[in-house]
């Protein structure tokens, strides 16, 4: 099959066959397709779209470009969750132990933060000693022993995605729904799942700020998951303000441990609620309980009984981390950081928070990455007190910025301050956390 013929068909808005898509992905990996041919096809896909059948074929071809993990020796059902990324989005740290405690194995392959968003791997590395670079044998051992394991993408998993992502990044074809779907699904399905729950974010801190586009993405993900034979659901959730209070790394892990300890305050209510709902859906979709309501009761019990915390502790231990953080979360923080109060200039109501600006401000003082090669300082972060709808007086802090002496903390604090809009009247409505459930 000539690359030109495949490019032409998509250019003209036609539907590519499974064979054509397989030939494209194989050609990108082997070099039979030149980069400039691949990028021309990517742009044609961006502009003319793909059917569910094409997305499924692309997902499968990318998945099969690498190793597909086989955990059939672990007899438990397997489920995973994926978030499209946000600010303060730390639910994976709560969900994985919660679902494992309910008897569903979670082989979670996660990513790192970039730009305004954080990444699960970076957060985990805030735990002293924690190792996210496991080989497959270790990953399998931790998964079998603890019920969940966390690691980063390896070179063996969906190598076509790595190559295509680099091209998309350089050619402004990242934001294409079919290409996003295949990228997410090919990596997630490499872990041999039976069920997958997607947390598709929308709002100021999301990659897809526009709710309509986010909904379209959620639907495409769910349809493609079903086509690939995986029980799939998506929640469309709010990212118009950071999720929970903590934005950073150590402080986000701390927030999660406090939730699992039952000690978290009201400001972590949304993290708790979203974690429970996503976990319940993973358990329900795995078929180990009769209904979603039963799954909700089960994950609720796993949280309050301490079973989730116990799984978390065992995972930290198994992956080389210091389990004492579970008993004393203050071990995560670093006493050499200094706190900068980010204060409201006016009295009034918090009308909105530009979550991406908060994420970028934290990244600017070392809590995130501007470029892939940047190193993260886990102790740096921002912990909010004020949320949308809340009343503040002049001089009252929106929250605290933790940074290193010598970093440009004033500029970062000013950036966070500017991210808050304070008005005279309470906002008409506070954004709803879970906007929609997309089941098929």
Catalytically annotated residues: 82, 161, 168, 183, 187
CA separation for the pair 24, 272 (Å, rounded): 43
- Single out the residue of 17, 171, 390, 421 in contact with its own copies (rule: CB under 8 A): 171
Q: Of 42 and 316, which CB lies nearer to its own copies in the complex structure?
A: 42
**409 touches 365 (CB < 8 A):** yes
- Single out the residue of 65, 92, 117, 173 in contact with its own copies (rule: CB under 8 A): 173
- Among the listed ranges 46-54, 100-108, 190-198, 402-410, the one in contact with its own copies (CB under 8 A) is 46-54
Q: Of 12 and 73, which CB lies nearer to its own copies in the complex structure?
A: 12
Per CB under 8 A, 7 contacts its own copies = yes
Cβ 42 to its own copies shortest distance, Å: 7
Helical (H) or strand (E) element with 160: helix 159-171
Per CB under 8 A, 40 contacts its own copies = yes
- Among the listed ranges 89-97, 164-172, 325-333, 393-401, the one in contact with its own copies (CB under 8 A) is 164-172
- Among the listed ranges 34-42, 204-212, 218-226, 305-313, the one in contact with its own copies (CB under 8 A) is 34-42
Answer positive or negative: Cα dihedral of 284, 288, 293, 297. Answer: negative
**326 touches 398 (CB < 8 A):** no
- Among the listed ranges 33-41, 78-86, 314-322, 422-430, the one in contact with its own copies (CB under 8 A) is 33-41
Per CB under 8 A, 8 contacts its own copies = yes
**Per-residue CA distances from 262 to 73, 256, 310, 316 (Å):** 34, 10, 13, 19
Q: Of 3 and 366, which CB lies nearer to its own copies in the complex structure?
A: 3
Residue that has been written with the tokens 């929106």 in this structure: 398
Per CB under 8 A, 43 contacts its own copies = yes
CA separation for the pair 33, 50 (Å, rounded): 20
Restricted to residues 261-320, the positions that interact with its own copies (CB under 8 A) are none
Write the CB contacts of 42 (distance below 8 Å, at least 6 apart in sequence): 164, 167, 168, 171, 173, 176, 179
The residue among 231, 160, 123, 211 whose CA lies nearest residue 432 is 211
Query: Footprint of its own copies on this chain (CB under 8 A)?
Result: 3-4, 7-8, 11, 34-40, 42-44, 46-48, 167, 170-173
């Amino acid at each position: 099959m000539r690359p030109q013929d495949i490019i032409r068909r998509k250019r003209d808005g036609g539907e590519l066959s499974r064979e054509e898509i397989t030939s494209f992905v194989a050609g990108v990996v082997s070099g039979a397709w030149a980069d400039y041919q691949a990028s021309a096809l990517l742009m044609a896909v961006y502009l003319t779209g793909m059917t569910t059948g094409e997305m499924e074929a692309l997902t499968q071809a990318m998945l099969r470009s690498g190793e597909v993990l086989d955990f059939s020796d672990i007899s438990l059902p397997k489920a995973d969750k994926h978030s499209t990324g946000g600010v303060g989005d730390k639910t994976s740290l709560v969900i994985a132990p919660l679902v494992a405690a309910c008897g569903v194995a979670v082989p979670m392959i996660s990513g790192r933060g970039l730009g305004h968003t954080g990444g699960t791997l970076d957060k985990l590395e805030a735990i002293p000693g924690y190792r996210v670079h496991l080989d497959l044998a270790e990953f399998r051992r931790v998964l079998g022993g603890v019920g969940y394991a966390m690691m980063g993408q390896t070179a063996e998993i969906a190598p076509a995605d790595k190559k295509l992502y680099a091209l998309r990044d350089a050619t402004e074809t990242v934001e294409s729904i079919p290409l996003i779907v295949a990228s997410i699904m090919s990596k997630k399905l490499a872990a041999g799942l039976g069920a997958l729950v997607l947390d598709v974010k929308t709002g100021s801190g999301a990659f897809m700020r526009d709710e309509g586009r986010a909904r379209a993405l959620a639907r495409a993900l769910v349809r493609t998951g079903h086509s690939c034979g995986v029980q799939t659901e998506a929640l469309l959730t709010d990212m118009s303000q950071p999720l929970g209070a903590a934005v950073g790394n150590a402080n986000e892990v701390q927030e999660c441990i406090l939730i699992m300890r039952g000690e978290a305050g009201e400001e972590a209510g949304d993290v708790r609620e979203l974690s429970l709902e996503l976990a319940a859906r993973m358990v329900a979709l795995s078929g180990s309980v009769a209904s979603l309501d039963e799954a909700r009761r089960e994950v609720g019990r796993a949280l309050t009984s301490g079973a989730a915390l116990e799984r978390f502790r065992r995972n930290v231990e198994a992956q080389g981390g210091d389990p004492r953080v579970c008993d004393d979360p203050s071990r995560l923080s670093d006493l050499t950081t200094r706190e900068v109060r980010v204060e409201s200039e006016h009295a009034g109501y918090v009308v909105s928070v530009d979550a991406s600006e908060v994420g970028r401000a934290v990244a600017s003082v070392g809590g995130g990455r501007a470029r892939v090669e940047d190193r993260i300082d886990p102790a740096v972060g921002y912990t909010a007190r004020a949320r949308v709808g809340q009343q503040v007086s002049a001089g009252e802090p929106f929250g605290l910025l933790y940074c290193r002496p010598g970093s440009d903390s004033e500029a970062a604090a000013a950036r966070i301050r500017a991210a808050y809009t304070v008005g005279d009247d309470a906002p008409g409505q506070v954004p709803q956390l879970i906007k929609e459930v997309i089941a098929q």
